[in-house]
Chains A and B, each alone.
Chain A
Amino acid sequence: QKEVEQNSGPLSVPEGAIASLNCTYSDRGSQSFFWYRQYSGKSPELIMFIYSNGDKEDGRFTAQLNKASQYVSLLIRDSQPSDSATYLCAFSRSYIPTFGRGTSLIVHP
């Protein structure tokens, strides 16, 4: 079983819609969870992090964590073409992060 599972996509949504990205993880000892965005040919940049169960909102982004079910999701409201990128889910138990393969998101006008 892979440590972090993400649907590779691509996930295609129209501009203005809500994009929903999901991630499951296998390590119940995971303490912190992160969503990174990676544009083609660039390194990842942090979008959000979440430690506690529930929702965390930051602008158009909402991260949702459910430790009992071992999943974390990212919602992007009012999706824009500039949101088109690969979104990497990551978790860490100690200080070493583990990354999923990423979900490719395409926002079309």
Chain B
Amino acid sequence: GAVVSQHPSRVICKSGTSVKIECRSLDFQATTMFWYRQFPKQSLMLMATSNEGSKATYEQGVEKDKFLINHASLTLSTLTVTSAHPEDSSFYICSAPTAGGNPYNEQFFGPGTRLTVL
């Protein structure tokens, strides 16, 4: 199956710093990628849809100025958590459908990034 990687897998930072998370599709091109956040014992919550070459689409309640998304190429999307605070500590996961906007395509998930803000 398709492979999606994420980096870093785990990051610990001080409050007020910014953290960048990378999501790469390794063996296919992804014009669309999704960013999720998952708190313990909770479901995946879609944060935003990352579109190659255009602005990301954010879900209601997600601050676009705090969670900056850049999808600069067909294989790379980045999520930057700016001025991170302890409440931003969570498991961040990206995913990509294997064939663009086809609703029948399954999502391939990256391994996730565990962010801990002290």
Report B's interface with A, CB cutoff 8 A.
1, 32, 34, 42-44, 46, 49, 91, 93, 97, 100-112, 114
Contacts and interface: CB of A to CB of B under 8 A. Distances in A.
B43 A95 contact: no
Contact of A32 (B44, B46, B103): B103
B95 to A, nearest CB: 8
Interface of A: 31-32, 34, 41-46, 49, 51, 88, 90, 92-102
A43 B104 contact: no
The secondary-structure label for the interface of chain B is loop
Contacts of B106: 34, 46, 49
A51 B44 contact: no
A42 B111 contact: yes
B43 A44 contact: no
Contact of B103 (A43, A45, A92): A92
